[in-house]
Amino acid sequence: MKHGRSLAALGAVAFGLLLSDSAAAQETAKPKVIPHDTAGRVECLTCHSGAIEGIPAAPASHEGRESDTCLLCHSADSPIQSAVPKTIPHDVAGREQCLICHSGALEGIPAPPANHEKIDVKYCQLCHDSGG
Ligand code: HEC
Ligand code: HEC
Ligand code: HEC
Ligand code: HEC
């Protein structure tokens, strides 16, 4: 009896750990919403390059990203703030013009949600990794 209860307690602890682990993973994967005004601050990398003390640097994973991409993910209304982008389930070679197919006009091909309206096709793969 005593044994059974401690096993159950152990299970509860393990489950708790599992939950907090995945919550932590989600937190690190989600970009912070920009905490300051953007007026006069559109050249994000002028400040977030790591060269200015006291200003958080863009992490190493960001190498190659230009300032015109930052708000795609760090704005409050970015799609990535409310969901995890799916991996592209197909090859992308020869399919770089995503919107030819993902426009909503072709039956059986999912259309991007409405919050994608202003996203340029050259940025699709910043969020949707190519898996296949
Ligand atoms: C003039 C310098 C400057 C520019 C340009 C600038 N930022 Fe910032 N940014 C800061 C400073 C200083 C902080 C930290 C203080 C604060 O929260 O305002 C900060 C904080 C942030 C944070 C939160 C970082 C953290 O770890 O809490 C994000 C995200 C961010 N900025 C994104 C951007 C984006 C995206 C742009 C371009 C649209 C941008 N910033 C342009 C100075 C700048
Ligand atoms: C494709 C989405 C995406 C784009 C585009 C992007 N970021 Fe991020 N950013 C993230 C994610 C996710 C994190 C947190 C995980 C990590 O460290 O990579 C992050 C982290 C940061 C941080 C550290 C604070 C934090 O949120 O943890 C800063 C500062 C930052 N980004 C600035 C920038 C700047 C400046 C640009 C443009 C040059 C940019 N980001 C473009 C997704 C993005
Ligand atoms: C020639 C047409 C075509 C092009 C171009 C194309 N796709 Fe697709 N895409 C499809 C089809 C068909 C599916 C669904 C069938 C499948 O899983 O392959 C799909 C599925 C997806 C899905 C998964 C949707 C879901 O609900 O599971 C994502 C995300 C996606 N594509 C992103 C992209 C991106 C990003 C690009 C550009 C780099 C792109 N696609 C280019 C035809 C295309
Ligand atoms: C800032 C990140 C980001 C960018 C950039 C982005 N997406 Fe998405 N996309 C998401 C998120 C988050 C979702 C919702 C979760 C999901 O279905 O992947 C989504 C959903 C989709 C879906 C719907 C999948 C479904 O199941 O209905 C398609 C199709 C898609 N995106 C295609 C694109 C295309 C094409 C582009 C470039 C024009 C693009 N995305 C750019 C983040 C992004």
pLDDT value for 69: 97
Q: Alpha-carbon distance 106 to 59, whole Å?
A: 38
Q: Alpha-carbon distance 66 to 69, whole Å?
A: 6
Q: Rounded to the nearest 5°, which phi and psi values hold at 130? A: -90, 120
pLDDT value for 83: 95
Residue with tokens 């932590």: 24
Q: Which residues of the chain register pLDDT less than 70?
A: 1-29, 132
pLDDT value for 130: 87
Does the beta carbon of 100 sit less than 6 angstroms from any atom of ligand 4? Answer: no
Does the beta carbon of 71 sit less than 6 angstroms from any atom of ligand 4? Answer: no
Q: How far is CA 102 from CA 1, 110, 125, in A?
A: 59, 6, 14
Query: What residue owns the CA closest to ligand 2's atom 39?
Result: 70
Ligand 3 atom closest to the Cα of residue 92 is 38
Q: Alpha-carbon distance 30 to 25, whole Å?
A: 9
Please state the pTM of the whole predicted model: 0.89
Q: Which ligand is nearest to the CA of 43?
A: 1
Spell 76-105 as b/e; 16+ CB within 10 A means b. eebbbeeeeeeebeeeeeeeeebeeebeee
pLDDT value for 92: 96
Q: Alpha-carbon distance 99 to 58, whole Å?
A: 29
pLDDT value for 19: 41
